[in-house]
Amino acid sequence: MSVAALVTTAFGLLIALAAHPATSSLMQPLVGLILWAEPELAGRETRLFAAIAGGVMFGWGLMILALVRHLADTRPRLTARLILTGILPWFALDSLASLAAGAPLNVAANLVFLAAFAVPARWLAAGQGADN
């Protein structure tokens, strides 16, 4: 789960970099794939949402990493419950909003993120460790 948290943190940083015109091209291939269209990431509103979403995702990844590193060994079930408390509602809302935005491929990407956290959280709750 530590790896998934670090990937989430890195992905958040990449999204946040899309807030600046000089670095927004880093996200264009991924956004183009998800939307099946040439992305337009130059608008101020789009850059603002990239800054907000990237910052939240960056912090969320670091928080999950801290839970795994500092709480999982002593309170595995609590750690799993705390992580799932954020992951499950995120998955539902983000996926529904992605469908509403016409980006169904983002739901597939969300499934990968969900599995990267939910499966290890189940192992953790069962006493098998967070990074199995």
Residue 21 belongs to some domain of the structure: yes
* pLDDT tens per residue across span 2-56: 999 999 999 899 888 888 888 877 776 666 666 655 656 567 887 898 899 999 9
The predicted model scores a pTM of 0.84
Residue 72 belongs to some domain of the structure: yes
Residue 108 belongs to some domain of the structure: yes
> Domain containing 8: what range?
2-125
The burial of 70, by beta-carbon neighbours within 10 Å (0-12 exposed, 13-18 middle, 19 or more buried), is given as exposed
Total number of domains in the chain: 1
Residue 132 belongs to some domain of the structure: no
Look at residue 54 in the predicted model and tell me its pLDDT.
Answer: 92
Residue 88 belongs to some domain of the structure: yes
* pLDDT tens per residue across span 59-86: 999 999 999 999 999 999 999 999 999 9
Helices 44-70 and 2-17 cross at an angle (nearest 10°) of 160
Residue 100 belongs to some domain of the structure: yes
Q: In the structure encoding, which two tokens stand for residue 69, read together?
A: 């590193």
Residue 104 belongs to some domain of the structure: yes
